[in-house]
Amino acid sequence: SDVYKRQILTGSLVRLALGVLTDRLGGRLVYTLTMLAAALATFLLGWAETYAQMLIAALGVGLAGGSFAVGVAYVSRFFDGRKQGTALGIFGVCNVGAAVTKFVAPFVMVAFGWQATAQIWAAVLVVTAILFWLLSKDDPVTSARHEGKAPLRSMKAELAPLKNGQVWRFSAYYFFSFGGFVALALWLPHYLIGVYGLGVKTAGIVGAAYSIPASIFRAWGGMLSDRVGARMVMYWTLFVSAACAAILSIPAGVSVAIFLIVIFILGFFMSLGKAAVYKHIPSYYPDNVGAVGGLVGMIGGLGGFVLPLLFGWLKEETGLWSTCFMVIFVLVIGCLIWMHASIRRMDRAAAPQAA
């Protein structure tokens, strides 16, 4: 658990830096180097002999999580605004890889040992990095820079949008939709065991089943954002998520059947919200997708690190398992109020210009 949390932390903190590097150097180069660095850390993880060495190696493995900011900046440059939501939604399905690893890695570990498992995963990463370098191409902006048709912008220009409140509002959405999703995926098996008395194996299967379809539906969220608008998708996400969190916050609890139905509905809409957030970014900041996407991803990833700790602390202090959903409810309502107030303010500012 500590190893996994450190991977999440590293993957979160490096997203801003990797996003800025992608804007400046191009996703093809940065993505390849990130995969190779993560492969090296994964290989060294298999040679760790002490707990401290394992934690240090896990910090390096977390670079793989930071690659999401690289991919967003890279992929978005190949598509116009009408298709960016769909493209980024499909790219976001990559989150399912973590759930697949939860299924497959234990079988490999039983067959070959945990050290060999780390080395096999490292080898796959190296092969993937080589294939990506050979089969991919530079994005249009990077190609234009190599040809001398587009200048390299200053670091000040790269980071300028980060002072906008709108960027931090998008980050709050992602703190809930991505960070909350990761936190619930980690917390769900403990919840099912503690509240409903499910066995460890059954609870683990439900937790993995929760992660896979919710990640896949992110692609549909991207397509919906292209068709009806990311703002509408976010509204639906926040409204339905608030209703689900309110139901699950009832201290007396609900039956296990109702719980599973509601939690899967919540995960589904959180996946739509994740896609909608990243549809906003290239629409508002087409020249700074790496920096803005990196910051938004960093805040979301920190949610996945901080929220499970908060869930555990609240459970110990109150004795109520449902406090985790009370936290989610507060987050959703906060995002909904902030979003609606900002949209109303923008509409009022645009009205005189339209007139």
pTM for the predicted model, two decimal places: 0.88
Concatenated DSSP letters of 85-119: HHHHHHHHGGGHHHHHHHHHHHHHHHHH-HHHHHH
- Residue 83 makes CB contacts below 8 A (sequence gap 6+) with 226
Residue 22 CA to residue 27 CA, distance in Å, equals: 5
Residue 241 CA to residue 325 CA, distance in Å, equals: 10
Residue 102 CA to residue 182 CA, distance in Å, equals: 14
Q: Is the pLDDT of residue 7 over 70?
A: no
Concatenated DSSP letters of 270-327: HHHHHHHHHHHHHHH-TT-HHHHHHHHHHHHHHHHHHHHHHHHHHHHHH--TTHHHHH
pLDDT, tens digit, 9 for 90 and up, residues 314-326: 999 999 999 999 9
pLDDT, tens digit, 9 for 90 and up, residues 154-211: 888 888 999 999 999 999 999 999 999 989 988 999 999 999 998 888 888 888 788 7
What pLDDT is attached to residue 281? 92
Q: Is the pLDDT of residue 249 over 90?
A: yes
Token pair 């690190």 is found at 305
pLDDT, tens digit, 9 for 90 and up, residues 113-147: 888 888 999 999 999 999 999 999 999 999 988 88
Residue 88 CA to residue 72 CA, distance in Å, equals: 7
Residue 307 near residue 79 (C-beta atoms within 8 A): no
Q: How far is CA 1 from the centre of its chain?
A: 18
Q: Which helix (H) or strand (E) holds 129?
A: helix 114-135
CA geometry: angle at 121 spanning 120 and 127, to 5°? Answer: 90
Q: Is the pLDDT of residue 354 over 60?
A: no
- Side chain identity, residue 318: T
What pLDDT is attached to residue 136? 94
Q: What proportion of the chain, given as a percentage, has pLDDT over 70?
A: 96
pLDDT, tens digit, 9 for 90 and up, residues 23-80: 999 999 999 999 999 999 889 888 877 777 777 777 778 788 888 889 999 999 998 8
What pLDDT is attached to residue 3? 59
CA geometry: angle at 285 spanning 280 and 286, to 5°? Answer: 100
Residue 199 CA to residue 70 CA, distance in Å, equals: 39
What pLDDT is attached to residue 103? 72
What is the residue-averaged pLDDT of the chain?
A: 88
More confident residue, 137 or 349: 137
Burial class (CB in 10 A: 0-12, 13-18, 19+), 192: buried
What value does the mean pLDDT take over residues 218-223?
90
What pLDDT is attached to residue 351? 66
Residue 77 CA to residue 164 CA, distance in Å, equals: 22
- Residue 106 makes CB contacts below 8 A (sequence gap 6+) with none
Residue 63 near residue 95 (C-beta atoms within 8 A): no
